[in-house]
Amino acid sequence: MIRLDKVTKSYRSGKVKVKALDSVSVDIKKGEFVVLNGPSGSGKTTFMNIAGCLTRITSGRFFLKDMEISHFPDHFLSAIRREKFGFIFQQFNLISGYTTWENVSIPLLPMGISEKMRKKKAMNLLEELNLETRADFYANELSGGEQQRAAVARALINDPEIILADEPLSNIDVENARTVITVLEKLKTKGKTIIISFHDSQPLITKLIDRMVSFDSGKIL
């Protein structure tokens, strides 16, 4: 599903050049549940951003479903992102002037789906995440854990094939984490490909993991 072949990603800030990823090769199969692990600054977010077509690689090759897409134009990459990926970030990134259900349905806006249908889809997901009673609250009226659950619903509304979750459990308590993990478990049984990152160990999730990829200083251990 996702293949990186000797991928390097460098950032330059002033005179300092950082290799955020240093010749990394990984092959992630359809339906795999992969955990990215490693200390802060080891390259997990950079890997996620490349896998999700949010950042371009500096060198190497990047394949999505056996198609090398490293050099595809921006509009093509954003179409792929909209269609195939669900992103869950460490910061929830909800828009405060919108209600919970509206935030959840935002990815459907470019698809020209009616408001009634958008709300219906959003409500189904909010129910799954035990958040239906907060549907009409504004995003800034939600607790941190509720915001993260809403962000998870938003990531899933386009029924993505691939879910990228960057430290999704870092800023929430155990109860909220359990709800998110239950949803991830369901996605796994549906055959979705899931990549999730942690900077610490997450015993709650151990039974779901197919593979752990450990990063250190931009390299895979």
Ligand X SMILES: Nc1ncnc2c1ncn2[C@@H]1O[C@H](COP(=O)(O)OP(=O)(O)O)[C@@H](O)[C@H]1O
- Least CB distance to ligand X at residue 115 (A): 37
Of 27-56, binders to Mg ion (CB under 5 A) are 44-45
Residue 148 in contact with Mg ion, rule: CB under 5 A: no
Q: Is 213 in the site for ligand X (CB under 6 A)?
A: no
193 binds Mg ion (CB under 5 A): no
Q: How far is the CB of 121 from Mg ion (least distance, A)?
A: 30
Residue (46 or 179) nearer to ligand X, CB? 46
Position of tokens 């795999």?
A: 32
Counting residues that bind ligand X (by CB under 6 A) gives 12
Query: Hey, which residues between 12 and 31 contact ligand X (CB under 6 A)?
Result: 13, 18, 20
Q: Which of 44, 81, 149, 192: binder of ligand X (CB under 6 A)?
A: 44
- Of 45 and 99, which CB lies nearer to Mg ion in the complex structure? 45
- CA distances for 197 relative to 21, 37, 49, 86, 113, angstroms: 15, 6, 12, 14, 32
Which residue shows structure tokens 């929430």?
Answer: 172
Residue nearer to ligand X on the CB measure, 21 or 156? 21
Taking CB atoms, the residue at the shortest distance from Mg ion is 45
Q: Which residues bind ligand X (CB under 6 A)?
A: 11, 13, 18, 20, 38, 40-46
Provide the binding-site residues for Mg ion, judged by CB under 5 A.
44-45
